[in-house]
Amino acid sequence: MATSAVRTHHLTKRYGTLLALDGLDLTVSAGEVFGFLGPNGAGKSTTIRLLLGLARPTAGRAWIFDVEAGDVAAHRSLAYVPADVALWPQLTGAEILELLAATGPGVDRAYRDELVERFALDVSKPARAYSTGNRQKVALVAAFATRAPLLVLDEPTSGLDPLMEQEFRRAVTVARDRGQTTFLCSHQLAEVEAVCDRVAILRAGRLVDVATVGDLRRLHRTEVTARFTGPAPDLSDVAGVGSVARDGGTLSFSLNGPPAPALRALAAADVTALTVREPSLEEIFLDYYGEADR
Ligand SMILES: Nc1ncnc2c1ncn2[C@@H]1O[C@H](COP(=O)(O)OP(=O)(O)OP(=O)(O)O)[C@@H](O)[C@H]1O
């Protein structure tokens, strides 16, 4: 049995002179929830199109469960939710779910009914009457109800309200419990942080990092607050310490790298309370790209 759900080797896509994807090497293990992040134009959708066989690579290769991406057989293993869901306008939600069930890799009808309830989807309406969020719900219900081993989700929750976002997270967890793999492309960093085992960060077509959210946090700055009595600890020239701010008996600073030098400096003062806050994925993302790139 294949242990990788998605594998790419030097996957490259060029549009004229633009290098949209530059030698991507990636392995997503079967059963993982994998986040695929990057600012606009980083090459995320290009990667997905290559994985689905909707575009041909300029160089390199990609496999879905060891089947060449683009091979019709690869489609039997996956369900896809595009960023812009287009549905047949004259068909009702229920008819569309039936149509997708007939063409997809098998469907769990009982679970599909449960998802329709959970996502509060009125399947009696024709698709032309659906809002963006409702179209997205139809595609999500259809994908989550399949037994496809791989779910490829491109910005699947951009139109969903916070309640539905919770249902989405729940459905991803159920998929993981069933052993399905989720490849999730998203700008909702809190969502990625909540559901993903690992994340890949892409920038200008190149892979910047692949790591667990925990590992990323450890690599990035932590925010430290220390309350003290007596003279303020001297943190000038302490390795890794930056953005020091003092407000009366409270000192806050950011810390990069090992905490030992900062702790030694704090030990010299009478510290009464210490809080250490790990960065959110959003802060890590901004560290990589800077505010201007968002
Ligand atoms: N068919 C195309 N022809 C020419 N250039 C393209 C084409 N498709 C994508 N590009 C370019 O390739 C680069 C990567 O685009 P892509 O859509 O993969 O980015 P993305 O990471 O999905 O961005 P977003 O978050 O905005 O969806 C961009 O510079 C884009 O303009």
Per-residue confidence of the chain (294 residues) as pLDDT tens digits? 558 999 999 999 999 999 999 999 999 999 999 999 988 899 999 999 999 998 999 999 999 999 999 888 888 899 999 888 888 888 999 999 988 887 777 889 999 999 999 999 999 999 999 999 999 999 999 999 998 999 999 999 988 888 999 999 999 999 999 999 999 998 888 899 899 999 999 999 999 889 998 887 777 788 899 999 888 888 888 988 988 999 988 999 988 878 889 998 888 888 899 998 887 777 787 777 765 444
Residue of 13, 14, 37, 44 best suited for mutating to test ligand 1, as the one with most atoms within 8 Å of CB: 44
Residue tagged 């990069």 (tokens): 256
Domain 221-278, classified CATH 3.40.50, yes or no: no
User: SS in 3 state form for 81-114?
Assistant: ECCCCCCCCCCEHHHHHHHHHHHCCCECHHHHHH
Q: Which atom of ligand 1 is nearest to the CA of 46?
A: 18
Domain spans of the chain, in order of start: 4-216, 221-278
ipTM greater than 0.90: yes
pLDDT given at position 62: 96
Any ligand 1 atom below 6 A from CB of 82: no
Residue of 40, 51, 206, 208 best suited for mutating to test ligand 1, as the one with most atoms within 8 Å of CB: 40
Q: How many helices (H) and strands (E) does the chain have?
A: 10, 14
List C-alpha distances in Å: 9 to 15, 168, 269. 19, 31, 53
pLDDT given at position 292: 44
Q: Which atom of ligand 1 is nearest to the CA of 202?
A: 21
pLDDT given at position 234: 87
pLDDT given at position 81: 92
Neighbours of 22 (CB within 10 A): 19
Any ligand 1 atom below 6 A from CB of 62: no
pLDDT given at position 293: 46
Look at ligand 1, atom 2, and give the residue with the nearest C-alpha: 15
- Superfamily, domain 4-216: P-loop containing nucleotide triphosphate hydrolases (3.40.50.300)
pLDDT given at position 294: 41
pLDDT given at position 40: 87
Burial of residue 278 (number of CB atoms within 10 Å: 0-12, 13-18, 19+): middle
- Residues facing 154 on adjacent strands: 185
